[in-house]
Amino acid sequence: MNEHIHPEGWTTAATHLSWGVKAGNTLYVAGMLSTDPVTNEIVGHGDIKVQTRRVIESIKTVVEAAGGTLEDVAMNHIFLRDMADYVAMNEVYMEYFKAPRPARYCVKLEMVKPEFLVEIAAVAHIG
């Protein structure tokens, strides 16, 4: 039985997705974008570091709502609009994910809106 994770106070504007789904001890966190989870407004226009921080804070909130911490994250799927942002994104990423870091991959792709610079989805094992 899947448990849908919806952090308290977060918008329900994105009714087409679940913020997180916990299946047994595995948590699947939806691809997070740099939107404020309460207002749904885009955060950090043009600033990859601000956007990366917002994205990871959102992942952290979902993981914590499921009973875990960022240390429980085993895999991150990172999507960048421009690979020129890789180094700056990685600087922020390493502030949150300490060694040994989760497995991950990073690919370049077109985002759902041009304002978005980064999207990250995560998989965590909790408990």
Enumerate residue ranges in the chain where pLDDT < 70: 13-15
The answer, as to whether pTM is greater than 0.75, is yes
* pLDDT of amino acid 14: 59
* pLDDT of amino acid 46: 96
For the chain, domains (ranges, CATH) are 2-125 (3.30.1330.40)
What does the pLDDT look like over 4-21, one tens digit per residue? Answer: 999 998 987 656 778 999
* pLDDT of amino acid 127: 86
Give the Cβ contact number of residue 18 at 10 Å.
Answer: 17
* pLDDT of amino acid 17: 78
- What's the mean per-residue pLDDT of the chain? 95
* pLDDT of amino acid 83: 98
